[in-house]
């Protein structure tokens, strides 16, 4: 059995280049007792993967140079020597390292796989019912702690996490304002996802003024997916006792020097502001409850979802790089 | 009855100058029914007062130009037309605006005063049993949440708040490291106040290296009184799930432009760090319990206290300005 794989060729400096990726063909070993051969159907590409390309201390170990990259995926079982799985089952890699290699086929011990429902669109397990959905849920509920009538600001609002944050905040009775880039995304936020207002940062040279107008009562919760200059514009509008859920800093992931910006601490002291970085796995003890709630909201239509789908295994690197130019609306998915 | 008063003459730009203060003599009106005439014995000068000299939105309204400055004080009753108070009683201004004007005598309604014990050094009510002590207690206990064995870093460690933070952290079983300026302060922290290590930022050109050495297991709680470059050196040493209690930013209070520095958000995301600005009055519901605990620790000698005392009402402005050059060890007090 042969498989095509995409490896990390070099650790990128700044924005990754095509030359940082390399495609190879390998021969997989024979399947042993207890093992399962899987074929990915859909891959997820996510901003956090940029961090794993560098050799930095973080919550997940870095990718290794010369080894396949990896990410979330839903796969189909091709062959099984574990009685819990049959050919045709849909599965995901589970456990504390729930990553599938960028390979057209892989072998895993059955104990590291879990089945997913065949009646739910497979890619939803990579989005609203996966890492991005859980990230939105825990960051908003456990750090933001929304109260009805409060104003919630979301940066990167049209991304996989942002659209879920906004819809949960609406369910909780908040005024929801999103920042995104491009008129299509802005239209999607207000028309499809029920945001009260959306600000196009590419079309508002005075972003601070646009924020004032959209948030007449200031901002109580800031769910930050991007960081950098957009956050600089948001910060002065935070209210006393505001909460900032730091989910991602995509604007800074490709910087090669320590980024510099206005210091946030003086305002945080004078207004008693809380800011907290997090990753969804901090809340592993609450996964079941959160998944149950998200699944119910998706089934009854209170949460809608959007995806940008790229076709073809070979397009994984381009789809990933597209995240940094904002090419996706909602979750970026690669269909193999 | 005549009283000498010190007024805010101008709103300072940057570090306040002598010309920003003005001394005048006024005649107080006659005492009416229910009123009390008080004479301050000891005044507190505190870094937060710099904020009130500017016309900025904060948790306390700014001082008014042409009116007396004000701060914490313990006073003696000179004359009373409120049956709850007698000449010779020691009192403090209470309520949500617990400030005494910079005046050698003042008139208050009796309902805005509270008696304090005559057997406790009056200045302690301005320090360990007052705003700085409560600030230390709530910031460390409610934001830092110390666990035995953790490492606690305190900046501005030799100040009124810092010395109390360190001693509470020791009571809670933590390793405690302080940063302060000057060999006398460093000696005081380790010898008098039981800190495990203290770093002289004036004598360590490579502050980061000194922090590594003093904190071999990294930092779990950072109680920040100063901000600026000292915090920049501390931040990279924060552990996963570290908590940062933002108490003050004295290094930045006199800046005239928005200060710029390394962005903290990327590290906060990768290490799931929490940072929270606060003021002691956020925890008003817990004052009684905290005062009871602090008083018990002071009475049984588990918390010691230090003061720098300036003599004379006219020295109030200089004592206040001395805070910004670090002239005080422990609480800065002016004895009238």
What are A250-283's pLDDT values in tens digits?
877 777 778 999 999 999 999 999 999 999 999 9
Residue range B31-54: mean pLDDT, rounded: 95
Rounded CA-CA distance A221/A140 in Å is: 8
Tokens (6 digits) for B101: 């004007």
Beta bridge partner(s), residue B260: A262
CA of B127, closest CA in chain A: separation in Å? 20
Please give the pLDDT value at position A246. Answer: 98
**Percent of the residues in chain A that have a pLDDT greater than 70, as a whole number:** 100
**Percent of the residues in chain A that have a pLDDT greater than 90, as a whole number:** 82
Residue written as token pair 């961090």: A51
Q: Which residues of B touch A135 (CB under 8 A)?
A: none
Q: Which CATH superfamily is domain A132-281 in?
A: NAD(P)-binding Rossmann-like Domain (3.40.50.720)
Q: In 3-state terms, what secondary structure has residue B234? A: helix
A252 and B246: CB-CB below 8 Å? Answer: no
Q: Considering the domain B131-281 in this protein, what is its CATH number? A: 3.40.50.720
Rounded CA-CA distance A221/A144 in Å is: 6
B263 and A268: CB-CB below 8 Å? Answer: no
**Percent of the residues in chain B that have a pLDDT greater than 70, as a whole number:** 100
Picking from B61, B263, B274, B284 by the largest number of A CB atoms within 10 A of its own CB, the best residue to mutate is B263
- What is the per-residue DSSP string for A93-149? E-SSS--EESBSSEEEEGGGEEE--TTS-GGGGGTTTSHHHHHHHHIIIIII---TT
**B289 has a pLDDT exceeding 90:** yes
**Percent of the residues in chain B that have a pLDDT greater than 90, as a whole number:** 83
Cβ-count burial A258-297 (b if 16+ within 10 Å, e if not): eeebbbbbbbbbbbbbbbbbbbbbbbeebeeebeebbbeb
Residue range B198-202: mean pLDDT, rounded: 97
B265 and A246: CB-CB below 8 Å? Answer: yes
Cβ-count burial A52-73 (b if 16+ within 10 Å, e if not): bbeeeebbeeebeeeebbbbbb
What distances in angstroms separate CA B123 from CA B73, B118, B308, one per listed residue? Answer: 8, 11, 11
Closest to A147 (Cα-Cα) out of A234, A217, A221: A221
**B251 has a pLDDT exceeding 80:** no
β pairing state of B219-224 and B260-262:
unpaired
Q: Which residues of A touch B260 (CB under 8 A)?
A: 260-263
Rounded CA-CA distance A320/A334 in Å is: 9
Beta bridge partner(s), residue A309: A333
Tokens (6 digits) for A330: 């909602």
Tokens (6 digits) for A33: 């007792």
The band of B232, judged by pLDDT with boundaries at 50, 70 and 90, is very high
**B201 has a pLDDT exceeding 90:** yes
**A96 has a pLDDT exceeding 80:** no
pLDDT in tens, A168-206: 999 999 999 999 999 999 999 999 999 999 999 999 999
Span B2-127+305-335 CATH architecture: Alpha-Beta Complex (3.90)
pLDDT in tens, B114-143: 999 887 889 999 999 998 999 999 999 999
Rounded CA-CA distance B228/B249 in Å is: 7
Please give the pLDDT value at position A326. Answer: 83
Please give the pLDDT value at position B8. Answer: 97
Contact at 8 Å (CB) between B76 and B39? yes
- The answer to whether A273 contacts chain B (CB < 8 Å) is yes
Task: Give the chain A residue nearest B143 (alpha carbons).
Answer: A274
Residue written as token pair 């107008």: A213
Rounded CA-CA distance A204/A217 in Å is: 20
- The answer to whether B260 contacts chain A (CB < 8 Å) is yes
Please give the pLDDT value at position B117. Answer: 84
Domain ranges of chain A: 2-127+305-335, 132-281
Task: Please name the residue ranges forming H helices in chain A.
Answer: 49-53, 131-138, 162-171, 183-191, 207-214, 228-234, 265-270, 287-299, 316-322
Residue written as token pair 């010309």: B19
Mean pLDDT in chain A? 94
Picking from A222, A229, A246 by the largest number of B CB atoms within 10 A of its own CB, the best residue to mutate is A246
**B255 has a pLDDT exceeding 90:** no
The band of B103, judged by pLDDT with boundaries at 50, 70 and 90, is very high
CA of B322, closest CA in chain A: separation in Å? 21
Residue range B14-42: mean pLDDT, rounded: 96
Q: How many CB atoms lie within 10 A of CB A313?
A: 18
Residue range A286-296: mean pLDDT, rounded: 92
Q: What is the dihedral of CA A74, A80, A83, A86, to 10 degrees?
A: 60
Which residues, 6 or more positions from A37, have their beta carbon under 8 angstroms from its beta carbon?
A1, A28, A31, A77, A78, A79, A80, A105, A106, A107
What distances in angstroms separate CA A57 from CA B109, B211, B212, B233, one per listed residue? Answer: 60, 19, 16, 18
Rounded CA-CA distance A131/A137 in Å is: 10
Tokens (6 digits) for A300: 């009854």
Contact at 8 Å (CB) between B277 and A265? yes
**B57 has a pLDDT exceeding 90:** no
Rounded CA-CA distance A327/A331 in Å is: 11
- Helix (H), strand (E) at residue A42: strand A35-44
Q: In 3-state terms, what secondary structure has residue B106? A: strand
Please give the pLDDT value at position A56. Answer: 78
Please give the pLDDT value at position B196. Answer: 98
Rounded CA-CA distance A42/A36 in Å is: 18
Contact at 8 Å (CB) between B162 and B178? yes
- The answer to whether A58 contacts chain B (CB < 8 Å) is yes
Contact at 8 Å (CB) between A242 and A273? yes
């Amino acid at each position: 059995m042969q498989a095509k794989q995409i490896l990390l060729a070099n650790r990128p400096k700044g924005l990754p280049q095509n030359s940082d990726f390399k495609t190879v063909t390998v021969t997989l070993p024979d399947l042993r007792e207890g093992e399962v051969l899987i074929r990915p159907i859909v891959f997820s590409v996510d901003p956090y993967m940029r961090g794993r390309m560098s050799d930095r201390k973080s919550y997940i170990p870095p990718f290794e140079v010369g080894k396949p990259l990896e990410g979330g995926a839903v796969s189909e079982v091709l062959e099984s020597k574990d009685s819990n799985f049959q050919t045709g089952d849909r599965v995901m890699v589970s456990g504390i390292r729930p990553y599938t290699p960028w390979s057209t086929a892989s072998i895993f011990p059955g104990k590291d796989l879990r089945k997913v429902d065949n009646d739910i669109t497979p890619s939803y397990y990579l989005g609203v019912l996966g890492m991005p959905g859980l990230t939105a849920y825990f960051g908003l509920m456990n750090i933001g702690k929304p109260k009805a009538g409060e104003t919630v600001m979301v940066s990167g609002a049209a991304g996989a996490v942002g659209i879920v944050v906004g819809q949960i905040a609406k369910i909780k009775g908040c005024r929801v304002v999103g920042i995104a880039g491009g008129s299509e995304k802005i239209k999607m936020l207000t028309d499809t996802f029920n945001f009260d207002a959306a600000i196009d940062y590419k079309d508002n040279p005075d972003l601070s003024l646009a924020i004032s107008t959209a948030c007449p009562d200031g901002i109580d919760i800031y769910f930050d997916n991007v960081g950098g200059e957009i956050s600089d514009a948001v910060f002065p509008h935070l209210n006393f006792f505001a909460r900032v859920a730091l989910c991602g800093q995509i604007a800074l992931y490709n910087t090669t020097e320590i980024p510099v910006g206005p210091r946030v601490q003086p305002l945080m002291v004078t207004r008693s502001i809380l800011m907290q970085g997090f990753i969804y796995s901090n809340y592993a003890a609450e996964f079941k409850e959160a998944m149950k709630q998200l699944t119910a909201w998706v089934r009854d239509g209170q949460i809608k979802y959007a995806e940008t789908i790229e076709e073809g295994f070979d397009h994984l690197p381009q789809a990933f790089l597209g995240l940094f130019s904002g090419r996706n609306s909602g979750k970026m998915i690669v269909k193999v």
